[in-house]
Amino acid sequence: MILKFLIIIGVVYFSILIFLFVFQRNILFVPDRSAPTLTETNVPEMSEVNIETKDGLSLTSWFYRGKVEKPLIIYFQGNAGNISDRDYKARFLIDNDYSVLLLGYRGYGGNKGQPSEEGLRKDGEAALEFASREGFEVSNIILYGESLGTGVVVDLGTRAKFKGMVLEAPYTSIEALAKKRYWFIPVSYLLKDKFDSINKMSQVTSPTLVLHGDSDKVINFDYGRQLYDATPQPKNFVMFPGGGHSNLFDFDAGTEIVTFINSLE
């Protein structure tokens, strides 16, 4: 009986391993694949643009050109929804005269392709090439990442010195998050997309603002603090008492971002 029980437990355990390995990207990436419509958002003045990646995808994204003396803010969303869900952030930034690019990831918002760490890295590189063609130098670009998107921003931030980086509700690595949730699984051997931000931060040379709510139930506040501690100067950390994972603009995060950017002038 004991042997039979152990065999059943083993079969169940390995079935879980196989399931998590095969479907891990369905867990990590939760896109709204429907194509959003600009006229139904709070930012109808933005323009729909197509950003071409090196691996042949055309990413529908939204762009607005602000005042010439203001930097371009390239926004990298979190793992769920699509760029239309972030229109309120774009609205705030546009109202403060910034140029704004909401990057539509592969597999999100009607775009073809399947998201992955490598894929999102290519999407980010394509966004920078688009910005260059539009006349924006790296020194006049702010990279703004939300949650999952902070990993893309950190990776790009190791390659050049940007005007600044904003990391909203960041993590140290997806591996660390997965180990916490799936403590009974050998995550290190199974994980395809690690987004290892904390081990890349020492290579970042851009001024960095980290924003995190102390009531974040998705990515614990401690992860944001650890990432900040690993970030070279100049840097700033803003903690929002009572702030959750997706509501920091309700706690005046937008003002903190504007203050940070103004300090870079």
**Does the active-site annotation cover 245?**
yes
**Does the active-site annotation cover 206?**
no
Exposed/middle/buried for residue 155 (C-beta within 10 Å: 0-12, 13-18, 19+): buried
CB atoms within 10 A of CB 222: 12
Rg (CA), the chain: 19
> Which of 84, 87, 123, 245 is an active site residue?
245
> Which of 61, 84, 99, 147 is an active site residue?
147
> Which of 61, 87, 216, 246 is an active site residue?
216
Q: What are phi and psi of 17, to 5 degrees?
A: -60, -45
**Does the active-site annotation cover 147?**
yes
Active-site residues: which are they? 147, 216, 245
